[in-house]
Amino acid sequence: MKKSNHAVGECYNPSDLKTHDPHDMYAWADDKPRWLTPLQVLGFVAMGVGLTVCVYYSTLILFLL
């Protein structure tokens, strides 16, 4: 039995819903500022150090119980 187009969802096209900006005139730019890369690296290192300290102290507390 063949399903109708409505049943399989072919009537739904996400590009039809984009009536506010059909030609992507207001899309986000793909380029990032140069100062953002060092901040991302610093954030990654800080996250690693923070997770290491949290694991160390939680292990220390659990062994002291």
Does residue 61 sit within a domain?
A: yes
Q: Assess contact for 30 and 36: CB atoms under 8 A.
A: no
pLDDT at 8: 57
Does residue 1 sit within a domain?
A: no
Does residue 56 sit within a domain?
A: yes
Does residue 58 sit within a domain?
A: yes
Total domains in the chain come to 1
Does residue 50 sit within a domain?
A: yes
pTM of the model: 0.53
For residues 28 and 34, what is the distance between their CA atoms, to the nearest angstrom?
17
Distances (CA, A) of 12 to 8, 15, 24, 48, 63: 9, 9, 20, 44, 57
pLDDT tens-place string over residues 17-65: 666 777 777 777 778 899 999 999 999 999 999 999 999 999 999 998 8
Q: What domain range is 59 assigned to?
A: 34-65
Does residue 55 sit within a domain?
A: yes
